[in-house]
Amino acid sequence: MTEIRTVGVIGAGTMGNGIAQVCAHAGFDVRLVDAAEPALDRARRTIEKSLGKLVEKGKIKAEDREAALGRLATAIDLDALAPVDFIVEAIVEDAAVKKTLFTRLDEITRPDVILSSNTSSISITVLGAATRRPDKVLGMHFMNPVPLMTLVELIRGQATAPESMAVASSLCTRLGKTALEAADYPGFIANRILMPMINEAIYTLMEGVGTPEAIDGVMKLGMNHPMGPLTLADFIGLDVCLAILNVLHDGLGDPKYRPCPLLKRMVAAGQLGRKSGRGFYTY
Ligand code: CAA
Ligand code: NAD
């Protein structure tokens, strides 16, 4: 396997821009690709702002910010990924769309390149089966906000080779992250546990048990959570939460994972949380 110098990130939304930022800051050349040009412009601004905050707080030097920005290239064409040494996919949480992309990535990139997905819940085995290199397909699940959160959940698909997991794990170390491994079951570890809590908070709101402020306040002040579950859902994106709950519900077949009707209604109305300006709160 070639040494990793250039990382390709696909999807420049909430997660992709953070992943691109930490890779560029760690010294990798980064090619960030998104199908939507405005998403790339937004991502660059977000990365500039985030690196700026880290400079202000003395966590990185001003010249490191400039160097990181200099290592970042953006494109709308997937062919820009031909020379990369490692892929992190962070597009929409939709199995069919991701499968199509993995088949395409398999054609574009060198055969030795690891294709990782930042999916929150979708089967890595299924994504691997869409390629001719299932041994080099794995889950690399970063947490939001990527520049601040240290965990990366690494997911081993049915056919993922131990060598691929070892490469991904050492990449996490170079990014300053801690990798913890999970098996390929719907939602892995993080969202198997987190999403039922968020869903229950939405049922609690729908049934009038408390206001959003009361529900979030109880979990912040009573359980020391840094954000209440409704604030966190807005932060993650309500469309992403719904997609994950659907994967848990369909994949595990247990009614305890059924998405709350209020969540479905808000997503149908385009109230997606922070990224759309409105969710349980207004931004
Ligand atoms: N880059 C750089 N700095 C950032 C930043 C970013 N992206 N986001 C926030 N900051 C800075 C803020 O500017 C702030 O700086 P100051 O101290 O100078 O004001 C500092 O970080 C702390 O931020 P805040 O005061 O606004 O808020 P906080 O103290 O609550 O910390 C937080 C922010 C770390 C996000 C914290 O609220 C938190 O840990 N929240 C929970 C996050 C979480 O649970 N993430 C996992 C989501 S689930 C997931 O990711 C998986 C999935 O598949 C859905
Ligand atoms: P997002 O909606 O903020 O961004 C998705 C981006 O992907 C958009 O910019 C969109 O234009 C782009 N895109 C969609 N289809 C594409 C395609 N075929 N080719 C190229 N670009 C395409 O989503 P997000 O919240 O960043 O989530 C991305 C992935 O990360 C999902 O799999 C999600 O489950 C996962 N994830 C999300 C969070 C979170 O807190 N939001 C946390 C961890 C993991």
**Set 191, 199, 246, 249: catalytic member:** 191
**Cα-atom radius of gyration of the chain, to the nearest Å?**
19
What CATH architecture does domain 191-275 belong to? Orthogonal Bundle (1.10)
CATH topology match: 6-183 vs 191-275: no
- Is the C-beta atom of 232 inside 6 A of ligand 1? yes
How far, in Å, from the CA of 35 to the mean position of ligand 2? Answer: 11
User: Residue 2 pLDDT > 80, yes or no?
Assistant: no
Strands of the chain (E only): list them: 6-10, 29-33, 72-75, 86-89, 114-117, 137-142, 151-156, 178-183
How far, in Å, from the CA of 141 to the mean position of ligand 2? Answer: 12
Separation of alpha carbons 97 and 76, rounded Å: 16
| Residue 209 DSSP code | S
| Domain boundary assignment for the chain | 6-183, 191-275
- Is the C-beta atom of 77 inside 6 A of ligand 1? no
276 is catalytic: no
Q: Record the pTM.
A: 0.97
* 51-64 pLDDT per residue, tens: 999 999 999 999 99
120 is catalytic: yes
| Residue 81 DSSP code | G
191 is catalytic: yes
- Whether domain 6-183 has CATH 3.40.50.720: yes
* 142-173 pLDDT per residue, tens: 999 999 999 999 999 999 999 999 999 999 99
